[in-house]
Amino acid sequence: MAAKSKKKSAAKKKPVRAKSKPAKLARAAKGGRPAGTDPKRVAAILAKLDEAYPDATCELKHQNAFQLLISTILSAQCTDVRVNQVAETLYKKYPDPKAFAYATPSELEQDIRPTGFFRNKTRSVMGASTAIIEKFGGEVPRTMEEILTLPGVARKTGNVVLGTAYGIASGVVVDTHVIRLSNRLDLTRNEDPKKIEQDLMQVIPKEKWIQFSHQLIWHGRRVCHARKPKCIECNMERLCYAKDKTV
C-alpha cells in the first residue's frame, strides 16, 4: 500500500513540472528576444550577407563627413540616386559648412528642390551647418550625443555619418529597408525604429553593426523588395520564414 501511494504522489507531481516550461517560454516571448534570434541563426544570416554583399557600403557619394551629413539629411523621402545627382553641383557651389550656413535660403531651396521637402531640408541643412561652426569648430562631431544636437539629425542620420565617415559603431542604421527586412528575418518583432535598433544591437555583434546596416539596405534594394521580394534569388531563403515569402 505504501509503495502504491508513493507511485501516486510521483504521478501527481509530473503535470506540475510540465507546466513550468511553457510558462518560462511565455516569459521569454513577452520580454525577451524573438525566436529568430538564436545566435547560430543570426551567425548564419550574417555569413550569408557577407557572402552576397562583401563590399556593401553607403551609396550616397561624399568626400567627407560633412558632405555625408548633408546628403543624408537630403535623402529623407528621396532616393540616393536623386540625392547624388543634386550633390554633384551642390558641393561645388557650397563647399563647406560656412557656405551653407550663410546661404540665401530661397536660393538653397531651389538648389535642393529635386530632393523634395526642400523648405524643411533647407532649414535643417542651414541649422546643422550653423551649429557645426558655432558649437563644433567647423567639424561634424564624433559622438551620437553631440551629433543629435544638430537640427534635422536623428539617430538614423547619426548612425550613417558616424559609421560610414568615421568608422564609429554607435548603433545600427534603421531605415525603411532595415525595418522591413529585420522583421521578415525575425530579428525583431517591433515596428518602431528606436525599438528595432535596440533589438538589433542586442543580437548583432558590435563589430558588425556598420556593415550589417549596409548589407541589409543593399539586400532590400536589390532582392528583398517591399512588394515582391525576389526570394528565388535570395541566398537566405532557407533561413527565412517570412509570411510574404514568394517561394
The span from the CA of 196 to the CA of 182, in Å, is 8
Amino acid 160 reads: V
Compare residues 15 and 54 and give the one whose CB is closer to ligand SF4: 54
> Can you state the percent helix, strand and coil of the chain, rounding each to 5?
65, 0, 35
Question: Does the annotation mark 208 as catalytic?
Answer: no
Q: Is 54 exposed, middle or buried (0-12, 13-18, 19+ CB in 10 A)?
A: exposed
CB of 235 to ligand SF4, least distance (A): 8
Compare residues 33 and 184 and give the one whose CB is closer to ligand SF4: 184
Residue position matching grid coordinates 567647423: 138
Binding mask of the shown chain, residues 144 to 183, with x at each position contacting ligand SF4 by CB under 6 A: ----------------------------------------
Compare residues 150 and 234 and give the one whose CB is closer to ligand SF4: 234
**Angle in degrees, 0-180, between the axes of helices 118-136 and 65-74, rounded to the nearest 10:** 150
Q: Does 236 bind ligand SF4 (CB under 6 A)?
A: yes
- Angle of CA points 221, 174, 56, to nearest 5°: 45
Eight-state DSSP code of residue 186: T
Compare residues 134 and 233 and give the one whose CB is closer to ligand SF4: 233
Compare residues 103 and 236 and give the one whose CB is closer to ligand SF4: 236
Q: Say which of 48, 121, 156, 208 is annotated catalytic.
A: 156
Question: Does the annotation mark 175 as catalytic?
Answer: yes
Contact residue for ligand SF4 among 223, 226, 227, 243 (CB under 6 A):
223
The span from the CA of 128 to the CA of 87, in Å, is 17
Contact residue for ligand SF4 among 121, 184, 208, 214 (CB under 6 A):
184
Judged by CB under 6 A, the number of residues near ligand SF4 is: 13
Q: Is 122 left (phi over 0), alpha (psi -120 to 50) or beta?
A: alpha
- Grid cell in block for residue 186: 525575425
Task: Tell me the window of 15-23, 74-82, 130-138, 235-243 that interacts with ligand SF4 (CB under 6 A).
Answer: 235-243
Site for ligand SF4 in 10-49 (CB under 6 A): none
Q: Does 234 bind ligand SF4 (CB under 6 A)?
A: yes
The span from the CA of 202 to the CA of 187, in Å, is 10
Contact residue for ligand SF4 among 41, 123, 222, 245 (CB under 6 A):
245
Residue position matching grid coordinates 565617415: 165
**Residues found near ligand SF4 in the complex (CB under 6 A):** 184-185, 223-224, 229-231, 234, 236-237, 240, 242, 245
